[in-house]
Amino acid sequence: MAVSKYRRFAAKLLNLAGVTINGSQPYDIQVYEENFYRRVFSQGSLGLGESYMDGWWDVPALDEFFYRILRARLDRHIRKYPALILQTALARLFNRQSSRRAFIIGKRHYDTGNELFQCMLDSGMNYSCGYWKNASGLEEAQQAKLDLICRKIALKAGMKVLDIGCGWGGFAKFAAEKYQVEVTGITVSQEQAALARERCRGLPIQIRLQDYRSLQEKFDRVVSVGMFEHVGYKNYRRFMEVVRRCLKTGGLFLLHTIGSNQSVRSTDPWIEKYIFPNSMLPSVEQIGKAINRLFVMEDWHNFGPDYDKTLLAWYQNFNRNWPKIRRNYDERFYRMWKYFLLSCAGSFRARANQLWQIVLSEEGIVGGVPAIR
């Protein structure tokens, strides 16, 4: 297929989403390199993302561009490309999220630089979806999310809480200060652990560099916020067994995770290569199988559209503070990070991805738990 034919096919596809090549609308794609079309049709999402990083194309409103192409389900019109086929095959053969590989995500993503995340996130360093129901900005949305979690698991002073994937200690600090609980947080990122310990100094909080599979202690409550996306489908059951082992009788577990509308065994090749290696999004079906005969599902809350607002707020912070941190990165990194944040915002806007908070109990709470919203 000649380059001109690739271009015509691309124009036909994009038209289904209301997008015009070199058009005048803010969501119209501006193509600067003619080989862009061949690259995308031969490499799929990996070629799309890398060509953006290389400056081959641009869109004034990148988030809206992705919202339109994802909402139109243009992927249904394109054959599966080799990178995705290979990635799916490898996921079937190997446990890419094994304990031996657990710290890869920490080194590749979360150790990118604390300064980057400090410039992007809220003051509490919460790297997960905020709760925007009554919030006017990112700070309020993240505080509301943390308080929502605490209320859903009915925290009481003196309780011992486990935070699996504690990040920079945002939840641990909030829960210890506002609800007078003791928190043990674990992470696989050295950079996160160091800053979390500094931020939580003087509070009844212990931060460990540890894989969840080695946990043995008992806790009144367990939370996991934005970490389950790194567990992998081969380990979902093991993860839930560990939580069950660590939860005291009568305790509650809250899982906060991005979710997929369908069961998959791998992630987008561009995300895998540049952002979250060895990651994948769980489905309702996969979580259901993982908790079967281990837990009673007390509450399942979806506020996926709130991640659109959260990601846009992160991008605005990142873009505004870029001059402060650009000495540590190059222009290709800037375009990569922008592409990551805004493409993900578009995916949540299109409802291609979800955000779930799931409350689980060991044997079922007599009378149930309140559906706190």
AA letter at 41 = F
Active-site annotation holder among 119, 150, 200, 344 = 344
DSSP state of 371: -
Cα–Cα distance between 206 and 201 in angstroms, integer? 9
Tell me whether residue 344 is one of the annotated catalytic residues: yes
10-43 in b/e burial notation, b at 16+ Cβ within 10 A? beebbeebebebeeeeebbbebeeeebbbbbbeb
Q: Taking phi first (over 0 means left), then psi (-120 to 50 degrees means alpha), and beta for anything else, what does residue 176 get?
A: alpha
Helices (H), the chain: 3-16, 36-43, 45-53, 62-71, 82-93, 104-105, 114-120, 138-152, 170-179, 190-199, 236-246, 269-274, 284-291, 305-325, 331-349
Annotated catalytic residues are: 344
